[in-house]
Amino acid sequence: MVTLAEVAQHAGVSASTVSYVLSGKRSISATTRLRVEQSIRELGYHPNAGARALASSKSNIVALMIPLRTDMYVPVMMEIAIAVATTARTHGYDVLLLTGEEGPDAVRRVTGSGLADAMILMDVQLDDERLPLLRGTDQPSVLIGLPADTSGLTCVDLDWNATGALCVEHLAKLGHRDVAVIGEAPAVYERHTGFAERTLDGLRSRARELDLRVLHRPCEGGYDAMAATLARVLDERPGTTGFVVQNESAVEPLLALLRQQGRAVPEDVSVVAICPDQVATQASVRLTSVAIPAQEMGRHAVERLVAKLDGRGSDDVVLIAPELTVRASTGPAPTAP
């Protein structure tokens, strides 16, 4: 392993000079800089991460806590993780992957050991047990997702309230009066995951204003679960003509079932999905949808975090405005016979 000292010797300068060439924290004459850079290249020098971290108290690593469970939005999580990793890299940071498994202990471990300079938390629950720890440390952090109390925290999320409202508005405008919401798996609501509840709140309150009737049913993904859910919905509200689907693994089953029952989309029934664009365009009917901007969320989170690490930036909430794209799964409500 090549060390700083060896580079210094090779270039005929002192170790500190090499360090300053690397960090740019003091001015170095062009000739020395070039000589040092040349030596670095020739020897194939890479600074030792541990030594650097020890001396500077900075690891240049950000931790990313992802959920352990895979009961929702797996591709979204993945896309966020990838966006976080690539964005972090452009700012000179590497990403440490933590699963939810350790829970709050992971936060303690990371802050305590100086393993990472900052953290990004995903899968935030409304009353997340990691939050007190984050508030109690001076290590910067960003949440992807919104807890109930955001004071003293930086959060990035899609504006789920607005998303719910947007979906129901679109259906209202098309004349639908009875709307069913196919939600995430029950477990997601039970653990009070912010986005699911917020979507529903936003949707319901807008529906009230617009005088629509809303029936919400959580739904595990998959064909069988969707079949059972649909049967119950149509039994309870036979006049339902609009669907909002938040569980992406229920989308395709729903379409198949409707088709099978002779209900045409969008002639008889309209469907709005909340899902990544890829899902919306690959479905058997091109879906009118509100996109989940996974990449943007990941990128934003890192950029807020880097800002904080640089001393710029402050605690606040970044809500990304939802956008609804009209495709082929929604149309005017059928006129009563």
Partner DNA sequence: ATAGGTTGTCGAAGCGCTTCGACAGCAATC
Partner DNA sequence: GATTGCTGTCGAAGCGCTTCGACAACCTAT
> Is residue 162 close enough to count as binding DNA by CB under 7 A?
no
Residues of this chain that bind a second copy (CB under 8 A): 1, 44-54, 57, 59, 61, 64, 66, 68, 70, 74-75, 77-79, 81-82, 85-86, 89, 94-99, 101-102, 108-109, 112-115, 221-223, 249, 252-253, 255-256, 259, 281-284
Binding status of residue 47 toward DNA by CB under 7 A: yes
Contact between 34 and DNA per CB under 7 A: no
Q: Which of 38, 41, 54, 261 binds DNA (CB under 7 A)?
A: 54
Residue bearing tokens 């440390």: 137
Q: Which is closer to DNA, CB of 47 or CB of 313?
A: 47
Q: Which is nearer to a second copy, 135 or 259 (CB)?
A: 259
Give the residue from 123, 132, 154 showing the smallest Cα distance to 309.
Answer: 154
How many angstroms separate the CA atoms of 109 and 114, rounded? 8
Q: Angle 248-260/223-236 helices, nearest 10 degrees?
A: 60
Q: Binds 23, which of a second copy, DNA, none (CB < 5 to 8 A, cut-off by type)?
A: DNA
Could you say which of a second copy, DNA, none residue 99 binds, taking C-beta under 5 to 8 angstroms by partner kind? a second copy
29: contact with DNA by CB under 7 A: yes
Six-digit token pair at 245? 């689907």
- The letter for the amino acid at 165 is A
Q: Which of residues 200-259 bind DNA (CB under 7 A)?
A: none
Least Å distance, CB 25 to a second copy, is 19
Is residue 309 a contact partner of residue 117, using CB atoms and an 8 Å limit? yes
Q: Which two tokens stand for residue 158?
A: 């899609």
Burial 9-44 (b: 16+ CB within 10 A, else e): ebbebeeebbbbbbeeeeebeeebbebbeebbeeee
